[in-house]
Amino acid sequence: MHRNAVFPNRARHERAGWCGVRRRVWTRRAVACLFVAALLGLTAACALFPSGIGPGGRVFQVWALQDPQNQPIIQAALDSFNKTSTTKGSLTVYLNDAYKQKLQVSMGSPNAPDIFFNWGGGNLAPYVKAGRVATLDDALSENPSVKNAFLDSVMKTARIGGHQYGLPINGIQPVILYYNKAVFAKYHQQPPRTWDDLMTLVDAFKTHGVIPLVLPGTQAWTELMYLEYLLDRVGGPGKFEAIAGGNTSAWHDPAMLRALQLCQDLAKRGGFGTNFASINYDNTGASALFAQGKAAMFLMGSWEYTNQAQRQPDFFKSGNLGFTTFPTLTDGAGNPKDIVGNPSNYFSVRAGGRNTQAATTFLIKTLKSDAYVTSLVSSGQVPAIKGVNAKFAGSPNANFLNFTYDMANKAPAFTQSWDQALSPSVASELLTNLQKLFLSDITPQQFVDAMEKAQ
């Protein structure tokens, strides 16, 4: 989840799509390793070494986050690869904060990993610029079945300067508008198709004492989702692409100012209730309000489906969890099929390392293999693979999985979350100013003035 390498308190960053309704069990080796690490005070990392490899053996190092959903899938893929490869792969996992720090220190040193987990975009770009990441262009050209297997809207996030520097390793995570079917039925309402529909719903639910849109405002990344979608709906994906490309004056684009004004107007109108600034996401406060019918709608990533299944099982089993796309703007220039969120997480390969070729081979052989893709689907994720929806048949969650896949497959643009696409320092300034905007402490003009100066 975690789509962000900057802010550790975001549960979504270490989630990788739908985590599944069933409880999962970590591999025995992973559990034992983490237990020993804890005893030694080394909770930041845990290395899972292939059997039979001594200190002097050829081993390519794979670094990723501790994740009970995806970690076993990656380890199983390495175990399978190691059976036939002379150069073996070894997985080391880290907690989110420790990983960010460790990766920054190691890149460019002899201790850098051969394969490393990343979020693409602004998280990956500095390492590419420094020449630390190997391009995958040649390997993909030699393996067109792999090159053409992934959704281009997802591959794009790890494509920098026209070259491919990463491949998706887990499920897609678009931002979705969830709605409580029971609340909508009680007050004879329908999910919004347009922004005007949403404004009508805001007024209607307010009169009944229901929060129209629950917003965990203690964490600014939840507010960012509204700005991301609204800028796209107002002006299309090119408006943010200009900013991400380094054009700081693009913050002053009229489309940005309008999107910011729409966000602030929604907050002033009572769209988020009166105490959104005190509602949290990580402690399930917002999710509980939504499940209990105290809020009608919830804009959140695809991982919220899992969150409801695990934390609000009665509501989930009731069948009242509805989901739809973000409303359109009738006078906007953006395509209503555009989406925002976390295209995926990625594996990239260290440039110039002794094991660069073996690491690249592992990625090419593994990440679109039937075994790997089936494992992701079995865990409830939607892999960024074209046609993967054929594997959803028979799943109790097929409706949601197909909905999520169709969103990404049909999206002309899948804009990466801004706080990942931008540099960490700019992302920090962005989120700080966004909270001020939603609380009306600053105006849209003051917001863009501040962001133009951010570095």
Residue 45 has a pLDDT of 56
Residue 69 has a pLDDT of 86
Distance CA 216, CA 298 (A): 10
Angle ∠(10,13,15) on CA atoms, nearest 5: 115
Model pLDDT for residues 301-331, shown as the tens digit of each residue: 999 998 899 899 999 999 999 999 999 999 9
Distance CA 71, CA 412 (A): 31
Model pLDDT for residues 396-419, shown as the tens digit of each residue: 899 999 999 999 999 999 999 999
Q: Which residues of the chain have pLDDT under 70?
A: 1-57
Residue 68 has a pLDDT of 84
So where are the chain's domains? Answer: 11-172+345-409, 174-341
**What's the pTM value of the predicted model, to 2 decimals?**
0.83
Distance CA 360, CA 131 (A): 16
DSSP string across 273-312: -S-GGG--STTSHHHHHHHTTSEEEEEEETHHHHHHHHH-
Do 11-172+345-409 and 174-341 show the same overall fold? yes
Residue type, 286: A
Q: Which residues of 369-378 are buried (b: 16+ CB within 10 A; e: fewer)?
A: beebbebbbe
Residue that the structure tokens 């550790």 belong to: 8
In CATH, the number for domain 174-341 is 3.40.190.10
Residue 249 has a pLDDT of 96
Q: Which two tokens stand for residue 315?
A: 């509501």
CA distances in angstroms from 109 to 105, 164, 376, 407, listed in the order given: 8, 23, 33, 40
Residue 46 has a pLDDT of 60
The residue among 90, 168, 80 whose CA lies nearest residue 383 is 168
433 contacts: CB under 8 Å, gap ≥ 6? 442, 447, 450, 451
Supply the Cα-derived Rg of the chain in whole angstroms: 22
Distance CA 103, CA 88 (A): 21
Strand partners, 163: 160
In CATH, the number for domain 11-172+345-409 is 3.40.190.10
Model pLDDT for residues 40-63, shown as the tens digit of each residue: 333 445 655 554 444 445 899 999
Q: Which two tokens stand for residue 82?
A: 């190691």
Residue 8 has a pLDDT of 32
